Amino acid sequence: MKKIPLEKRNVSASRIILGCMGLGGTWDNSSASSEEVLKAERAIDAALESGMTMFDHADIYKRGKAEEVFGQVLQSRPGLREKIIIQSKCGIRFADEAAPGRYDFSKGHILNSVDGILQRLSIEYLDILLLHRPDPLMEPEEVADAFLQLKSSGKVRHFGVSNMNKGQVELIQAYSEQPMIINQLEMSLNKLDWVDQGVSVNQAAGKASYFADGLMEFSMMNDIQIQAWSPLAKGVFTGHDSSQLSEAESETRALVKQMAADKETTEEAIVLGWLMRHPAKIQPVIGTTDPERIKNCGDAVRQSEIMTREEWYRLYVSARGNKLP
């Protein structure tokens, strides 16, 4: 089996990542309850039982509480930290008395953010730090200085980005000695601009696609790991209210259900397996905290390995309304 890009960089990562945005409780400044810690523990255990050893965070998730409850679980299990890969993201700032919601890739904010992340997670280092969406006011020299300082101090081992196009990645890389090893993007069977050769299916709505300039090919050529957030498209094909689905979504949902039955697996494994079948060796970041649904995703690795070209295209064409681009 071919290595994923992270493995080529000596990062021992699982093919599926548990996204931790759903941990921690509410999106306010209240404290996380003991029940939220138990919820995090159950989700982590379900992920580990399913072969997932990589966990995705961001400093803003539940205003820091997602990292806090995860950190409490780590404190209760001293041997767990060295068995898993932890990545987090920084760069998004909530509205406050000083300014509206904004992005901030300044050196000071990146350094302060990492200190906060490490404190909340109760760890000494991050395996990977991602910049969370593009900042129009980014000074690449500042980013490079921050990354160098974090690397030299041992606080962060690897770096990457999220939601960036090819030019944005190249700009950061031109200034930083640290390679950008990840780009985390929205990708699913219901969001197909990444596979439609850069032609956005939402073009009529005026939405630009960060894939339009050959991002997938660029990433594959440079061993940049593509991670997919919202890979299950909020359950559109695996349990969403069918009365709200389009004709193409309804037909694709029926096809997913039939394929899962034929292969004696779960619908989640079919949807994720389709995404992971791509030669870029995409890593899905699943966002559920439901232990059963986490376990339902576990067979996706095997499904990606046995899915035929014909099966892949059957799902692709169905999701596009029974037509090729």
Which residue among the candidates 61, 125, 175, 210 is catalytic per the annotation? Answer: 61
Whether 61 is catalytic? yes
Q: How far apart are CA 105 and CA 92, in angstroms?
A: 9
Residues forming the active site: 61
